[in-house]
């Protein structure tokens, strides 16, 4: 893998799987690269970084999951970004389809985290509070379920979750992502990594909450019915969000792009 923008860099050995021992130079280099950023555009709230993979023709999945689009370099960046996150935010549909499990030391470069820091929490956004969507996550100590007041009012469903995960209520009949992000920030989670799915990303984009968008472009033509990586949200977005290209990495026909929100210019000095 090599950085090709804004400058050409040296070749990095791709290490997609976490291994015991010192962090490889390539992994440490990626961590430094992705840690370089501007300050959040909205003071007082966590930084939201999205990480997705797409086919060349814009599909979010192949056969219903993103794994068919991924490659070794993409998986390497995936492990690095998880290692830098305080909490991983995901929609219930993606948690179910991708069979999410609690974060483990076997999938995290623990040396990239401050000493004594807990593994990243997993936060699932679910409007229905259906435990079947995230049952496998209820075994972890670091699981957060974000739902609506209407769903939390179902005593049976709320009871099935409350003793095994932290329950956050955000919104009445639809999850309010602004309230959800505020709640995560109040728990001390300042680095939020959003891993999808498209519906959740659409809601976050509608709310203008995304500070960073990392996307791997896979050399695949999916040519199917899969949706885009950002689905239309329930509300009209209005003005588009301007992004600035921070860097591009290349590996075996994959392009790994990182975009940052373009901050609005401050008032002109007199």
Q: Which residues constitute the domain of residue 124?
A: 99-190
pLDDT at 236 over 70: no
207-227 pLDDT, tens per residue?
999 999 999 999 999 877 888
Distance CA 196, CA 89 (A): 8
Q: Is residue 11 part of a domain?
A: no
18-44 pLDDT, tens per residue?
987 789 999 999 999 998 775 555 557
> Do 213 and 50 touch, CB atoms closer than 8 A?
yes
> Do 195 and 51 touch, CB atoms closer than 8 A?
yes
The reported pLDDT for the residue numbered 33 is: 93
Q: Is residue 180 part of a domain?
A: yes
Distance CA 209, CA 177 (A): 9
The reported pLDDT for the residue numbered 256 is: 98
Q: Which position has the higher pLDDT, 250 or 232? A: 250
Number of domains the chain is built from: 2
Q: Is residue 9 part of a domain?
A: no
180, 224: one domain? no
245, 229: one domain? yes
Looking up residue 240, the CATH number of its domain turns out to be 3.40.430.10
Distance CA 191, CA 87 (A): 7
204, 186: one domain? no
76, 202: one domain? yes
Q: Is the peptide bond before 6 cis (omega within 30 degrees of 0)?
A: yes
125, 58: one domain? no
> Do 74 and 53 touch, CB atoms closer than 8 A?
yes
71, 200: one domain? yes
Percent of the chain with pLDDT over 90: 63
103, 167: one domain? yes
74-114 pLDDT, tens per residue?
999 999 999 999 999 999 999 998 899 999 988 999 999 98
- Is the whole-model pTM more than 0.75? yes
């Amino acid at each position: 893998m090599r950085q090709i923008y804004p400058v050409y860099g040296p070749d990095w050995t791709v290490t997609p799987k976490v291994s015991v021992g010192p962090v490889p130079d390539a992994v440490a280099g990626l961590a430094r690269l992705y840690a370089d950023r501007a300050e959040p555009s909205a003071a007082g709230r966590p930084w939201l970084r999205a990480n997705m993979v797409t086919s060349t023709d814009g599909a979010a999945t192949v056969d219903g999951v993103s794994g068919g689009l991924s490659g070794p370099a993409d998986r390497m960046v995936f492990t690095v970004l998880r290692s830098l996150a305080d909490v991983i935010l995901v929609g219930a549909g993606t948690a179910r389809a991708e069979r999410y499990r609690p974060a483990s030391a076997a999938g995290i470069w623990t040396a990239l985290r401050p000493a004594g820091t807990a593994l990243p929490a997993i936060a699932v956004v679910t409007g229905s509070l259906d435990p079947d969507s995230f049952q496998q996550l209820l075994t972890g100590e670091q699981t957060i379920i974000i739902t609506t007041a209407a769903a939390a009012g179902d005593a049976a469903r709320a009871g099935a979750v409350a003793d095994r995960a932290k329950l956050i209520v955000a919104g009445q009949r639809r999850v309010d992502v602004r309230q959800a992000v505020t709640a995560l920030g109040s728990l001390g989670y300042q680095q939020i990594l959003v891993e999808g799915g498209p519906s959740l990303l659409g809601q976050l984009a509608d709310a203008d909450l995304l500070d960073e968008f990392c996307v791997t472009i896979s050399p695949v033509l999916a040519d199917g019915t899969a949706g885009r990586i950002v689905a239309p949200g329930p509300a009209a977005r209005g003005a588009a969000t301007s992004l600035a290209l921070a860097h591009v990495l290349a590996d075996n026909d994959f392009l790994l792009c990182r975009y940052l929100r373009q901050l609005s210019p401050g008032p002109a000095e007199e």
